[in-house]
């Protein structure tokens, strides 16, 4: 009888550990301890790296700053329209993210061109049209090279000017940013399985209480 009880408890514990899903995504990037006063007491908190303010222009010619993303969860990547290697694969996969969340006004996709000389605003608009992207859920962003390459570092990404073979080099990651502008995940954009995980993680992130209330 005692054995039976033991097995029953063991089974319950096992079942429970199987069903409990991680309901919070990690926060990535550098963190620093911050000491502040709360109610007259000294409290030490953790400050996570955030994406700094920026200013770019989207495919419609509208200026986009960090303010336009207040209250929004977004995914960022780096590409250029004439990229023959990984970009078509990345954006074939990103199209799935777009289709899943395009009706959610609190979600955006930001694709930064790393070839602003060729990828002017009209070129980006044409690319968007040909990709079948409409509305404001997926912004293709043009900016000066220094700004784009600078912000790529905040997204933990590496982009470079042309290599000796005359090509741009860049990482193919999709970066998930929360409403507090913190990095919550990085996903290999060329791998459909990772992009499926990104879609699942966006849903998890949207359900976090902290995200649900943030404006």
Partner 1 sequence: MKIKLIIGIFLFIMITAIVSSCQSDAQVEFSRYYAGGASIYQEHCQNCHGEKGEGLQSLIPPLTDSIYLKNNKKLLACFLQNGLKGKITVNKSDFDDEMKPTDLAPIEIAKVLTYVTNSFGNKMGTVNLQMVEGDLAKCR
**Which of residues 48, 66, 92, 156 is near partner 1 by CB under 8 A?**
92
Contacts of 128 (CB under 8 A, 6+ apart): 59, 134, 138, 140
Q: Which stretch binds partner 1 (CB under 8 A): 39-47, 52-60, 125-133, 177-185?
A: 125-133
**Which of residues 22, 26, 40, 84 is near partner 1 by CB under 8 A?**
84
- Read off φ and ψ for residue 42, nearest 5 degrees: -80, 125
In angstroms, how far is the first alpha carbon of the chain from the final one? 56
- For residue 103, the tally of other CB atoms under 10 A from its CB is 9
Q: How far apart are CA 193 and CA 51, in angstroms?
A: 26
Residue 95 or 199 with smaller CB distance to partner 1: 95
CB 86 within 8 A of CB 107: no
Could you say whether residue 134 binds partner 1 (CB under 8 A)? no
Q: How far apart are CA 51 and CA 155, in angstroms?
A: 7
Could you say whether residue 215 binds partner 1 (CB under 8 A)? no
Could you say whether residue 167 binds partner 1 (CB under 8 A)? no
Could you say whether residue 66 binds partner 1 (CB under 8 A)? no
Element (H, E) at 186: strand 183-188
Could you say whether residue 196 binds partner 1 (CB under 8 A)? no
Q: Which stretch binds partner 1 (CB under 8 A): 39-47, 56-64, 78-86, 152-160?
A: 78-86
Could you say whether residue 131 binds partner 1 (CB under 8 A)? yes
Could you say whether residue 164 binds partner 1 (CB under 8 A)? no
- Read off φ and ψ for residue 123, nearest 5 degrees: -65, -40
Residue 123 or 177 with smaller CB distance to partner 1: 123
Residue 190 CB, shortest distance to partner 1, in Å, is: 8
**Which of residues 14, 85, 134, 144 is near partner 1 by CB under 8 A?**
85
Number of residues counted as binding partner 1 (CB under 8 A):
13
Q: Give how far the C-alpha of residue 121 lies from the chain's centroid of Cα atoms, to the nearest Å.
A: 22
Could you say whether residue 89 binds partner 1 (CB under 8 A)? yes
Bridge partner list, 36? 43
Dihedral (CA of 191, 192, 197, 198) sign: positive
The footprint of partner 1 (CB under 8 A) covers 84-86, 88-89, 91-92, 95, 127, 129-132
């Amino acid at each position: 009888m005692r054995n039976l009880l033991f097995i029953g408890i063991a089974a319950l514990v096992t079942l429970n550990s199987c069903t409990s899903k991680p309901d919070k995504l990690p926060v990535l990037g550098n963190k620093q301890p911050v000491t502040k006063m709360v109610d007259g007491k000294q409290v030490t908190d953790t400050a996570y790296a955030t994406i700094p303010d920026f200013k770019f222009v989207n495919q419609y010619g509208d200026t986009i700053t960090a303010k336009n993303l207040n209250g929004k969860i977004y995914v960022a990547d780096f590409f250029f329209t004439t990229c023959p290697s990984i970009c078509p694969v990345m954006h074939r996969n990103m199209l799935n993210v777009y289709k899943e969340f395009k009706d959610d006004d609190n979600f955006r996709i930001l694709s930064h061109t790393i070839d602003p000389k060729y990828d002017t605003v009209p070129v980006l608009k044409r690319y968007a049209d040909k990709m079948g992207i409409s509305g404001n859920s997926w912004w293709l962003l043009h900016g000066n090279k220094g700004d784009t390459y600078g912000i790529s570092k905040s997204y933990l990404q590496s982009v470079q000017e042309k290599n000796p073979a005359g090509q741009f080099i860049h990482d193919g990651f999709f970066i998930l940013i929360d409403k507090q502008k913190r990095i919550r995940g990085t996903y290999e954009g060329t791998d459909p399985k990772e992009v499926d995980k990104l879609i699942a993680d966006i849903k998890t992130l949207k359900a976090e209480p902290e995200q649900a209330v943030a404006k």
